[in-house]
Chain A
Amino acid sequence: MSEQEQRSIRCLVAKVGLDGHDRGAHVIARAFRDAGFEVIYSGLHKAPEEIVQAAVQEDVDVLGISILSGAHNTLVPKIMDGLEEYDAKDDTLVLVGGVVPDEDKAALKDQGVAAVFGPGTSIEETIEFVRENAPER
């Protein structure tokens, strides 16, 4: 007998590196919650390995990385490699939010980042993107 499946989109909102600007991450976490997602917030100043560990153990559908320090070219590849190591890269939707120059966006996408959301992106747009692109499992 089949049971009613109770699927819920799980997200990890992650702050990596040294910048301490977490207002955006908080706003996103709250908005995701209100959209009915389950949000795990990493806290500030996390190392890429910590983010990978959390993403793998929590089996999140979506990993949202907030970087405002400009170190995305260093930090994001480390996270992507870490996810790959645990076979988690293919079915995790990775988003980057923060200040990322246009010329860096292509490189991030090549590494497997699904979308980069810069300043001015509306919350609704982000939520809609997650709803449409969260991996089917």
Chain B
Amino acid sequence: MSTEHDDLLEDLLAGKHRALARTISHIENRAPGYRSLVSALSAHTGSAEVIGITGSPGAGKSTLVDKLAETYRERGETVGVIAIDPSSPFTGGAVLGDRIRMASTVGDMDVFVRSMSARGTLGGLSTATADAVTAMDAFGKDKIIIETVGAGQNEIDIVRTADTVAVLVPPGSGDAVQTLKAGILEIADVFIVNKADRPGADRTVQELLEMIELGEGSGFASVGVGHHGPDAVADLEQGDTEADVDDEGPETWTPPVLETVATKGTGVDDVIDECRAHRVHLEATGSLAARRRLRHAEEIRTLLRSDVHRLLEAELEAQGGVTGLAEAVRAGETDPYTIAQDALEPLEACLEERSLELDVEPVSK
């Protein structure tokens, strides 16, 4: 690790805000050497509770996060917030507006709010977020809240990073609940019907309750609703259709449906209590360890995927660049399979040799 990073690490552990801010910048930028910095930080983590907040755009995520942070502070706990907003696919630019809503804790440096853009979305979002969580954890934050972009394709990512996932559902959106059913509702540990003073809130609560109840029935357990063990995610990721049948009993967490009015702070205490209850549940059942294992497994895979991808890109470059090869395919001289096989061959040979020697899979740095 470079001296610069040594200093940064030391300052961060000493509680300097600037060092934490700079560390997260290095993580976002994939600055040279950031990996060893994150590795060093990892040794100092493990105490923070990580809560993910997701939901459709305008559901009130930022406002709720603001109130959660305020309430945690009243309870004497330090808070880190990571707020993610989308970036332009054309210019890479972004306007990060979540911070505007987070005014309740202004002037209190023990609430560390960091806006991140979803730059480099391909696998990068989850990695950078997870690394930023690591930095905040090492810094000593008691609670870390991740606010996702308005729910889209990234909604499953948050499961990999957070211990507890709260999904905000706006009221009066019966149809929306239906459409959400297949995706985002499956990852919720806590449901929050925000803007509960609006018409239609009761109905939305009722619909969610019915959906959860259905999910708990034996017939529905296999589709994942109401099944919130880490396996649910694993199943989802690996396309494993085999249902986990021992879903009943004390091991099962039934997601509560809470009502909040974030702008007024109504119901925020309930959210905090239920998140705490979920965390206790995770610890008691051993699910926490399982969740974290899953998270780390995914991190390892993501890192390897991007590393191998880069190695092979370089190999393609060495063979004259992908454009030239593509032209050769177009001209009918060769085909994509042959090219891919040629590029991969040295890597395969290398791995084979090494697994013979060591009987392990190599990890590239």
Chain A positions near chain B (C-beta within 8 angstroms):
1-8, 10, 29-30, 32-43, 47, 49-50, 53-54, 56-59, 86-88, 137
Residue of A nearest to B80 (CB): A57
The 6 closest A-B pairs by CB, nearest first: A59-B21, A33-B93, A43-B100, A36-B91, A59-B25, A36-B93
Q: Is the CB of B310 within 8 A of A38?
A: no
Not counting A34-B91, A88-B18, a sample of 20 additional A-B residue pairs whose C-beta atoms are within 8 angstroms of each other reads: A3-B34, A3-B306, A3-B310, A5-B29, A5-B30, A7-B29, A8-B117, A8-B119, A10-B25, A29-B95, A34-B88, A40-B115, A42-B99, A43-B100, A49-B106, A54-B113, A57-B114, A59-B18, A86-B17, A137-B22
Q: Chain A nearest CB: distance from B336 CB in Å? A: 24
CA distance in complex: A137, B24 (Å): 13
- Chosen A-B contacts, 26 in total, with CB atoms closer than 8 Å, are A3-B32, A3-B35, A6-B124, A8-B92, A34-B88, A35-B91, A35-B93, A36-B88, A36-B92, A36-B93, A38-B94, A39-B93, A40-B97, A41-B96, A42-B99, A43-B100, A47-B106, A47-B107, A53-B107, A53-B109, A54-B113, A56-B17, A57-B17, A58-B113, A59-B18, A59-B24
Contacts of B112 in A (CB 8 A): 57
Residue of A nearest to B11 (CB): A87
CA distance in complex: A59, B113 (Å): 11
- Asked if B120 is at the interface (CB within 8 A of a chain A CB), the reply is yes
Residue of A nearest to B88 (CB): A33
- Asked if B43 is at the interface (CB within 8 A of a chain A CB), the reply is no
Most buried by B among A29, A35, A40, A47: A40
CA distance in complex: A16, B87 (Å): 26
In this complex, the interface size class of chain B, counting residues with CB under 8 Å from chain A, is 35 or more
Q: Is the CB of B94 within 8 A of A39?
A: yes
Q: Is the CB of A58 within 8 A of B21?
A: yes
Contacts of A10 in B (CB 8 A): 25
- Asked if B28 is at the interface (CB within 8 A of a chain A CB), the reply is yes
Residue of A nearest to B94 (CB): A38
CA distance in complex: A3, B127 (Å): 14
- Asked if B341 is at the interface (CB within 8 A of a chain A CB), the reply is no
- Asked if B75 is at the interface (CB within 8 A of a chain A CB), the reply is no
Q: Which of B78-124 contact A (CB under 8 A)?
A: 87-88, 91-97, 99-100, 103, 106-107, 109, 112-115, 117, 119-120, 124
- Asked if B218 is at the interface (CB within 8 A of a chain A CB), the reply is no
Residue of B nearest to A10 (CB): B25
Q: Is the CB of A58 within 8 A of B115?
A: yes
Contacts of B31 in A (CB 8 A): 5, 7
Contacts of B106 in A (CB 8 A): 47, 49-50, 53
Q: Is the CB of B99 within 8 A of A54?
A: yes
